[in-house]
Structure 1
Amino acid sequence: MHAADTWADSSTGTGTGAGPRRIVVVGGGIAGLAAAHRLLTRDSGGPAPRVTVLEASDRVGGKLLAGEIEGARVDLGAESMLARRPEAVGLAREVGLGDLLQPPATATASLWTGGALRPMPKGHVMGVPGDPAALSGVLSAEALRRIEQDRELPPTAIGEDVAVGRYVADRLGREVVDRLVEPLLGGVYAGDAYRISMRAAVPQLFDAARAHTSLLEAVRDIQGRVAANPATGPVFQGIAGGVGTLPLAVADAVRARGGEILTGTPVTELRRVTDTPDPAPEPRALWRVVTPGRVLHADAVVLAVPAPAAARLLTVEAPAAAAELSAVEYASMALITLAYRRPDATLPEGSGFLVPPVDGHTIKASTFASQKWGWIAEENPGLHVVRTSVGRYGDERDIGREDAELVALSRHDLRAASGLSAAPVAARVTRWHDGLPQYPVGHHARVARVREHVAKLPGLAVCGAVYEGVGIPACVASAYAAVDLIAPEGAPAG
């Protein structure tokens, strides 16, 4: 037997009495926490709702994780936020982290390709150039000549969606994809460019490509519009102490406003309950949320969990949405964090480098964290902190290796790429199994179908990385959209 939650009305067991709305958020990652914070801070036209966040794991934060190595505070998950979107930096300011926001100390990155670190080309949109000359030194002469053929080629069909890699290869040749698009997209999605949806992953390129026969012209169109309306401020922001401190600060803000956050509390069942008060012109739909030790009844539920968990919970009430979510695939990866004594190690300039998978190396990228983030260097003047990543969709064989082997493989590739031969004084391996949802061709349409099915259930909304983007701002934006659905601003709270 599950203990009845105190929300439930003692006579009916459905909790439909007067008072603040009762809302359950399932999932304590950044999307779920952002939804809870929004619910408690916005004007709902009445008393603030009673909000409970249920998180299955023993901590909040999801893929954002603050940690340390050799006494240095570092991120063991995502390390930066896109600042050109307002949602993530805005949330950071709302929860008291505004003074800790910092742009990268250097944004100069490299590509490890052709046996050397080469400056990352400029003048491209996710690796797709507007001018082939921008890729000189990275691509072969033959590949540069192939790019020029784009202007004479007949139109390439795009339709409702197309894979980024396939379309770019058709227009500009495979080498552009293999040496530029793949490592750049892989850094965001840990995916395969030849499967990733252009509409979902690079929507501005998708729209421009539909409007132009030449892909080069499409990119130049994007670049021209950007030049005509230049953005101000940094492209990315970090947080002193690590981006992993953001969910902790949001959780503290939720609790300070009366919200409840329960970790180690998986949801095992989600069902609708129909209560008909007497008198009542129509039934009122409520939700029953079951956990191993507690049953909660709520007026509304926000599902902020990965696709497999959402599919399991929606199987009864929204089987069509559950079927769509069950088909979503994920990529797994590992982050290897290494600490070096500065006198023993010399790093190349810049923030790090990307690695084209076609070159056959183990690591897919490396970040010189203590050079990229000024706060790490200031707090730890005697250390260099370096991160490498291993694994992506369809190439996860290395994830299962022992920690020591992953460290050794990372050191081997770092030495080959940058000459870093010193032994680290500390190492940490963080595995992210099923860490990033994949956005294959048709993902945009799949998300639309999920939302259509869920919309038929009053008081239910979904949010998170699977829907509108894997970045932190996109996750926060999806949380805000979910709140707007179940608790429109200015609507009565009771």
Structure 2
Amino acid sequence: MTARIVVVGGGIAGLSAAFYARRRGFSVTVLEGSKRFGGKLLRAEVAGVSTDLGAEALLARRPEAVDLAREVGLGGELVPPATTQAAVYSRGRLRPLPAGHVMGVPRSLRSLAATGIVPPTAVLRAAADLLLPPTPVGDDVPVARGIGIRLGRGVVDRLVEPLLGGVYAGRADRLSLRATLPQLVDVLDRGSLLRGLRDLPPPGGADPVFAGIPGGVARLGEALVDVLRADGVELRTSAMVRVLRRTPTGWRCDVGPASAPEAVDADGVVVAVPAPAAARMLGPEAGGLAAELAGIEYASVAVVTLAFPADQVNLPAGSGFLVPAVERRLVKAATFSSVKWPWYAGSDVAVVRCSIGRFGDTADLQRDDAELVAGVLADLGAIVRLRAQPIDSIVTRWAGALPQYDVGHAARVARIRSAAARLPGFALCGAAYDGVGIPACIAGAQRAVASLTGPRSVSRTAG
């Protein structure tokens, strides 16, 4: 009898785990607590144009998402952005990022000064990096400390934090240097950041960094669902798993309300939900692992998607802009979707996406939709002189969307993996562990499924 795997969670990590488990010959059931699959992959029509409301690009320089897109029939549709040139709103205007920067860390004083993002006094402070002795990272430090000691707070606040905020919606004072910028750890251990980055290979190359899919990268999740259904995978929505328990032959999922639970048994289980939800499920069975999972905090964000008549909008060149927290604006980032992605060409609609929310921000996210749209329009008016009124808008709220890779995160993940490995037939995957991007989630799903077919785990057949 074929072994049965239950995947808890139907986001990109869970759907990918189901895909790879089915390829290995397992019988697979996916239990998703919400009413739809896809997680942070979601699209809708705004003014008649299909647009991503969540994740909107794949990191193409990692193979996992590109390979999966090919396997589900979308490989021929992957396209690079028309432009990736982004700006930072700083000191009253949009300014280009330093040439060759590494997550906002400049490679030279000249490139830093040329942007005007920080004032001349901050450039002089950054020059101290060339004179300071090495400042080893040790076990771990916050990004703001590791980089701030070398280059000063101005570089951290106006360059590094807005870029990290775009990825994690986090704060440089909390985010782990080892977990978020591991490529800088060895450089800091040796000494000068500016000298060390000069020795690193410059970013670039012939291959595009990012890729999109006409109509939105949410199509990747939709295609996965279609392939899984065609391959006999059982896909269930509104199937909230409350508790996971070990049984003599595997695992039991208690699904649905406590007043009328349904037992779903499996030989193995892959948990692909946010860490706090995984902690609640595992509490009765694995208290130590649950405590480690519960320690991972999450940031909530909102995305305001606006559509304007194209003939009334004159957007700046480039794909969009970032806004440092020190500017005290509602908008933390804006993407000019109809400029960035070539499939909008010829449309009579200009689409702009604006992100709101950083870790710890609650007041802004409590505003109603109309207030958020009004606030975004006020910021767009001030930053890019956009005066047109939208013909359509969508406010998408992502509660608990982005795990925070705080100081000590890598060590916490190592402890989580060690505890999980002691549970036969059990694996975890998702954005909380090895990266928040789509390829990282897919890679985590591959590793999770592979661990179920190793020693002391689930075999291909049972019974």
TM range (shorter): over 0.9
Retained in 2: the 8 A contact 1:200–1:444?
yes
1:16 equivalent in structure 2? none
Q: Secondary structure at the match of 2:332?
A: strand
Shift of 1:104: 0.6
- CA distance 1:171–1:195, shift in 2 (3 Å): same
Retained in 2: the 8 A contact 1:208–1:221?
no
1:213 equivalent in structure 2? 191
Shift of 1:231: 4.1
Partner Cα distance (1:318, 1:240) in 2? 43
Shift of 1:164: 1.1
1:281 equivalent in structure 2? none
Q: Secondary structure at the match of 2:16?
A: helix
1:357 equivalent in structure 2? 325
Choose 1 or 2 for highest CA Rg. Answer: 1
Partner Cα distance (1:181, 1:140) in 2? 15
Retained in 1: the 8 A contact 2:3–2:459?
no
How many residues matched? 454
Q: Deviations over 1:110-132 (max 9, x none)?
A: 11111111122212111111201
Runs of 4+ in structure 1 over 6 Å off:
none
1:265 partner letter: A
1:402 equivalent among 362, 368, 376: 368
1:253 partner letter: V
2:12 partner letter: I
2:447 partner letter: A
1:376 equivalent in structure 2? 344
1:120 equivalent among 80, 86, 97: 97
Alignment of 1:93-492 (within 5 A): 93-136=70-113, 137-210=116-189, 212-222=190-200, 224=201, 226=202, 231-274=205-248, 285-292=249-256, 294-378=262-346, 381-488=347-454
CA RMSD of aligned residues (A): 1.5
Q: Deviations over 1:289-344 (max 9, x none)?
A: 12125322111000000011100111122111100111111101110000000122
Shift of 1:434: 0.7
TM-score (norm 2): 0.95
Q: Secondary structure at the match of 1:144?
A: helix
Identical residues among aligned pairs (%): 54
Retained in 1: the 8 A contact 2:136–2:188?
no
Question: Which range moved further: 286-295 or 408-417?
Answer: 286-295
Shift of 1:188: 0.2
2:442 partner letter: V
2:15 partner letter: L
Partner Cα distance (2:70, 2:144) in 1? 37
TM-score (norm 1): 0.90
Which runs of 5 or more residues in structure 2 are unaligned? Answer: none
Shift of 1:183: 0.6
Retained in 2: the 8 A contact 1:377–1:383?
no
Retained in 1: the 8 A contact 2:300–2:401?
yes
Partner Cα distance (2:79, 2:186) in 1? 32
Q: Secondary structure at the match of 1:149?
A: helix
